[in-house]
Amino acid sequence: MRRDPALPRHDWTLDEVETLFARPFMELVFEAAAVHRRTFDPSAIQASRLLSIKTGGCAENCGYCSQSAKFDTGLKAEKLMDAEAVLAEAIAAKAGGASRFCMGAAWRELKDRDTPKLAAMIAGVKALGLETCATLGMLTADQARQLKAAGLDYYNHNLDTGPEYYAEVVTTRTYQDRLDTLQHVRDAGMATCCGGIVGMGETRRDRAGLLHALATLPAHPESLPVNALVPIAGTPLGDRIKAEGTIDGLEFVRTIAVARLVCPRSIVRLSAGRETMSAELQALCFLAGANSIFVGGRLLTTPNPGEDADADLFARLDLKPMGANPTVAATECSAA
């Protein structure tokens, strides 16, 4: 019996994933679009809002990041925001059409002393009727359980790149450190938000390595962000890419399409880098299986299209906000 391509696999090989990248572009995008439609409404896009609740001063040396204390990017380190200010931002995000509110702190790892304050933020955002997501660095098993108890739905912890290129990006934490945090998150009963960044000087095989790592996790990420590097002056990778050039747009679309094929039921987010993408390039990404974006004019420290620009994009492409149960509607449509 032929296997349904819309059913998740966890036995992908790296060579198989790399072979997907090498498929003729039109065939690759067509297949990804078909798989996407087996699970999701292709016109529905999830809107999330991301807020930096603690900016700068991070002890990590991620070569792309303006928030690292290792690099001189002109970014001033700030303290953790008060819960009241975070809730005000969440209220505004909901009024602007966001269904998920993501909170990011520039930490190597969450400290136990900060957990109660984070729990209050999470509970407050959850009470607004928004899905909650946080990215706070590495977690212990106990911290993951505390965040889950506070009402955290998703925890973001990206793998960043493939295992073979990882040491070119960061050396202050290991790949296994990242995998361990993801396991703590799953064990606590939270959904994972996990993806990476492309356009950091990696090869296509490295991009395949990232998606292979995601597709062979014990459970595929419920949310899979694909970021295009936003090169920031003063960061090693930012300075390098400013000199060498950014990733080709069609290669980025290929990455979205392969992500959809190897993780067919994940929400694939067209994440950082949209500010410089044309409407046509974004449309190709949505066709290839992306079905989530960040809204609002800023991500953590980098620009993002404003609400008016995204409203215009949605109108031109006949897109709509995703409902609370996206896979149910798609299943019913496909069965009709």
Give the catalytic positions in this structure: 58, 62, 65, 102, 133, 193, 269
Contact 257, 27 (CB under 8 A): no
Structure tokens at 208: 């395949």
Query: 47, 65, 84, 59: which is closest to 301 by C-alpha?
Result: 65
Alpha carbons 56 and 74: distance in angstroms, whole number: 10
**Which SS3 state, helix, strand or coil, does residue 80 take?**
coil
Burial tier of 256 (Cβ tally within 10 Å: 0-12, 13-18, 19+): buried
**Scanning the structure block, which residue is given the tokens 């500010």?**
275
What gap in Å lies between CA 82 and CA 25, rounded to an integer?
48
CA 291 to chain centre: 11
Nearest to 247 by CA among 274, 229, 234: 229
All residues at 6 or more sequence positions from 312 whose CB lies less than 8 Å from its CB, including other chains: none
